[in-house]
Structure 1
Amino acid sequence: MQVTETLNEGLKRGYSITVTAAELDEKVNDKLLEAQPDVEMKGFRKGKVPLALLKKQFGERVLGEAMQESIDGAMSKHLEDSGDRPAMQPEMKMTNEDWKPGDDVEVAISYEALPEIPDVDLGKIKLEKMVVKADDSEVEDALKNLAESAQNFEDRKKGSKAKDGDQVVIDFLGKVDGEPFEGGAAEDYPLVLGSNSFIPGFEDQLVGVKAGEEVEVNVEFPADYQAEHLAGKAAVFECTVKAVKAPAAAEINDELAKQYGAEDLAGLKGQIAERLEAEFANASRAVMKRKLLDELDGMVKFDLPPSLVDAEAGQIAHQLWHEDNPDVEGHDHPEIEPTDEHKSLAERRVRLGLLLAELGRKNEIEVTDAEMTQAMMNQARQYPGQERQFFEFVQKNAQMQQQMRAPIFEDKVVDYVFELAKVSDKEATKDELEKAVEALEADEPSNG
């Protein structure tokens, strides 16, 4: 087997690989000899079929496998010997297209090698971490929001009409074709109008009712209703309105605290302060991460694989086009040509991506199975009732796994750099942190 360099220009590499007919024939014979003990053929005992007959019967099929294995093996050995790491999957093309059995195989291989990443003195990086404490007014505002979300309902004045958002307490009996059906009756049922918890159209017909009234609600079960014997059927619900109640915020006291798992109001305030400060810390980390990426971008320069930059620029242009054209959901639109600004942003992202990847590789930073499982669990919560299907989809989809693994890996590398950098705390107000985050979001396209 012969490997000849045909291109070495910047990061571009080209090689010609020749696998001789004799090498292929030897590999075919080896594979047939390996399989011979298990082959059964009419007229021969198991394992006694002559090699010549095996070659005539299976040689052509085995030859294809031998060719692919030889080329892959040559490529693997070349990468091992040279130390090259292709930026993307190498392109392979057979150059003697008129090839026939008995001929040498000639293959042209081309790729872009990942560049040498210069070492960075991470200890020279200086960063400020905005530290924001939750003050009493912020805790009180959060408490008020909790009280509103944990609203109670209080009786309206006698004779008041029910409004959207009110709670009506009803007895009801549902009938289809004049006959009651299973599950169609209840007593003292608290129904919040506008909650859409009942069949479409049911709650609308109770807006305006008063306590003590009897009302017939006429609805039609959806065609896809889960109970097949009711799907698509017209129904009448005989309702007795027993109370009409208006929403009222819960009182801020120990009872409210217990609803949220705290022992008392002081404990709930402590929980709220911790949650707020955790949110502030996450926002502060995002600001510090941007500053870090800016610092790293200014510290290193190296050649970038054009294929990676072009692919990233195309992706950026496509994403921004869709943000400007939100009505276009699919990809049936004119080809989007990246601008110089897109290419500049792509170069930054590729440079930082390669640098972070190299820092992770050199320092043996990896995403653990436990971290991947946790990420899958977090994302699976977005599909209630379909968590198992989501897990199975991810397990079978290598690209999806990589999409989930990449941000976890990046954050672990960033945390590693934070540990080595000189980080000083800077006390800040919530307003100052919010302004920093707003500036971050306004400059989002330049994010690494």
Structure 2
Amino acid sequence: MQVTETQADGLKRAFRVVVSAADLDAKADARLNELKGQVKLNGFRPGKVPTAHLKRVYGKSVYSEVIEQTVNETNGKIVEERGFKLALQPKVKLSDGQQGETLLDGGKDLAYDVELEILPKIELGNFKEISVEKPVVEVTDAEVDETVQRIADANRPFSPKEGPAAEGDRVTIDFTGYVDGEKFQGGEGQDIDVLIGSKGFIPGFEEQLVGASAGENRTLSVTFPEAYAAKELAGKAASFEVTVKSVDAAGAVALDDEFAKTLGQESLEQLKETVKGRIVQEHAGAARQKVKRALLDALDAQHQFEVPAGLVEQEFNGVWSRVNEDLAGQGRTFADEGTSEEEARNDYLKIAERRVRLGLVLAEIGERNNIQVSDEEVTRAVVERARQFPGQEQQVWEYYRRTPEALASVRAPLFEEKVVDFLLELANVTEKKVTKEELYKEEEDEKAA
């Protein structure tokens, strides 16, 4: 076997490999001898089939198997002997004249070119030099009381009302929608509850139900938002023929122990403690995301190295596909987003490169520090995901059990969080008191954008 390096450019390597016909024939003969005791052919006793006859019957399939095995073994030796870590699977190209069945009759050298893209050697920075701020929000009694009130409002009883509907009332309606005088898909509904003022419908829809009484028919004129999910309706004027079937007024809810018991709590005080605990948890999650983002920014600044182009391309293609799907779903263009396709592509290429680089850095940190995710931790995470689909837990569990890629998608974020925890133990983390508005400001800005 001859292996000749033909390219060494950055993270790309290429080799010319030639395996002699004698080596291939020897492997094929050895495999045919193995088959002697396994195959059954009419006219021959088990184990007594002549090798020449086996070669006529199974020769092509055996040579195909031998060639594939030889290529895999040879590529493996190239990687192992040179200490490479592969970014992607090797790309193999047979030499001209060796395509099709020309090799499968035996007696010919195997010659092919293999292209490799390897992972870079990463010099890790000093994590003790990293400084990040952890925002801390104090949960006030007013915030707890406000949340409890929202829970109470969502659980208000409704009772039939005499007279026209007003803000805060619940109106039950049947409706049929028209665009350009034609009914459209999804534009009909029966016994639909509309809470006036909830902003749960198309802008202007709820407001035009104010003053309506049970049994009344109304025609509502609205315009679908430009960013409406159904792009065929986005920005279009529509009319809805509405029949008001009933009007119900919201009753008052007393914030007391009895109300708390309807929510599975022993008392109002316990309900407030439960609500406070959830708010603390939500704030901690938001603070964690800010700290993690700052940590990743610091890691990115510490580690600048060439990343495998193939991995960047894979990451970019995934991101770019989702971006275009989102725009198509909203009926929008890059111009609507204040950019061009070329500018957006360049931006997302940078994002993809950053993601790949940080992923490699986190993986290197985890490997060097023996950070692992146990099977038990993965199982717990899968169980939690299954619980999000009541009645389908078993199907979800089976899906993850049978699908390695899905299981890997569970393990990866667990590993990432463990590495982040490890880094935060080494980094200089200082707490900074902030308001709730400051904590969520960046998130709100992103939503607005």
TM-score (norm 1): 0.74
User: Could you tell me which amino acid in structure 1 is paired with residue 299 of structure 2?
Assistant: L
Given the superposition, is the C-alpha separation of residues 324 and 58 from structure 1 closer, same or farther in structure 2, using an over 3 Å criterion?
Answer: closer
1:287-316: CA deviations, max 9, x gaps?
Answer: 111111111111111111122233334444
Q: Residues 105-124 of structure 1 correspond to what in structure 2 (within 5 A)?
A: 105-124=110-129
Contact 1:19 1:71 in 2 (8 A): no
How far the C-alpha of 1:386 sits from its partner, in A, is: 4.0
| Residues in 2 aligned to 1:339 and 1:398: alpha-carbon distance in whole angstroms | 31
How far off its partner does 1:373 sit?
A: 3.4
Amino acid at match of 1:15: F
Alignment partner, residue 349 of structure 1: 355
Report the Cα offset of residue 160 of structure 1: 6.2
- Residue 435 of structure 1 and its aligned partner are, at CA, apart by 2.3
* Equivalent residue, structure 2, for 1:421: 427
State whether residues 214 and 247 of structure 2, in contact with CA within 8 Å, keep that contact through their aligned partners in structure 1.
Answer: no
Shift of 1:328: 5.5
Partner of 2:42: helix, strand, or coil?
coil
User: Which residue in the other structure is 2:282 paired with?
Assistant: 279
Shift of 1:44: 2.5
- Kindly indicate whether residue 138 of structure 2 is the aligned counterpart of residue 133 of structure 1: yes
Q: Distance in 1 between matches of 2:39 and 2:328?
A: 62
Matches of 1:161 and 1:308, distance apart in 2: 62
Q: How does 1:27-106 map to 2 (within 5 A)?
A: 27-98=27-98, 99-100=102-103, 101-106=106-111
- Give the equivalent residue in structure 1 for 2:440: 434
Q: Partner amino acid for 2:126?
A: D
- Count the aligned residue pairs: 374
CA gap 1:193/1:249 in 2 versus in 1, 3 angstroms = farther
Deviation at residue 138 of structure 1 after TM alignment:
0.3
Please report how far the alpha carbon of residue 324 of structure 1 lies from its aligned counterpart in structure 2 after TM superposition: 4.1
Deviation of 1:166 after TM superposition, in Å, equals 6.8
CA 1:32–1:328: 2 relative to 1, 3 Å:
farther
What root-mean-square deviation, in Å, do the aligned CA atoms of Structure 1 and Structure 2 show?
3.5
1:269 matched to 2:272? The reply is yes
Amino acid of the structure 1 residue aligned with 2:309: P
Structure-2 separation of matches of 1:294 and 1:40: 65
Give the distance between the partners of 1:97 and 1:328, measured in 2 at CA.
Answer: 50
Tell me the secondary structure at the aligned position of residue 122 of structure 2: coil
2:71 maps to a residue whose letter is: I
Query: What SS does the aligned partner of 2:92 have?
Result: strand
Moved more, 133-142 or 417-426: 417-426
- Between the aligned partners of 2:122 and 2:311, the Cα distance in structure 1 is 15
Amino acid across the alignment from 2:80: E
Q: Distance in 1 between matches of 2:364 and 2:122?
A: 7
Map residues 258-337 of structure 1 onto 2, 5 A cutoff.
Answer: 258-327=261-330
Structure 1 position 276, deviation (Å): 0.2
**Pairing partner for 2:371 from 365, 383, 390:** 365
| Paired residue type of 2:20 | T
Shift of 1:322: 4.1
Q: In structure 2, what residue type is equivalent to 1:340? A: N
CA contact (8 A) 1:128 1:424 kept: yes
Tell me, in whole angstroms, the C-alpha distance in 2 between the residues paired with 1:75 and 1:339: 35
Counterparts in 2 of 1:328 and 1:364: CA distance versus 1, 3 Å: farther
**CA gap 1:165/1:361 in 2 versus in 1, 3 angstroms:** same
**Aligned equivalent of 2:241:** none
Provide the rounded CA distance (Å) in 1 between the counterparts of 2:442 and 2:351. Answer: 21
| In structure 1, C-alpha distance between the alignment counterparts of 2:165 and 2:396, rounded to whole Å | 42
User: Unpaired segments of 5 or more residues in structure 1?
Assistant: 168-191, 197-206, 210-240, 330-335
Q: Per-residue deviation at 1:87?
A: 1.4
Structure-1 separation of matches of 2:32 and 2:26 = 10
DSSP 3-state at the match of 2:7: strand
Unaligned runs of 5+ in 2: 173-189, 195-212, 216-244, 333-340
Q: Is the 8 A contact 1:149 1:249 kept in 2?
A: no
Q: Give the Å deviation of 1:13.
A: 0.3
Q: Which residue of structure 2 aligns with residue 11 of structure 1?
A: 11
Q: Whole-Å Cα distance in 2 between the matches of residues 328 and 105 of structure 1?
A: 53
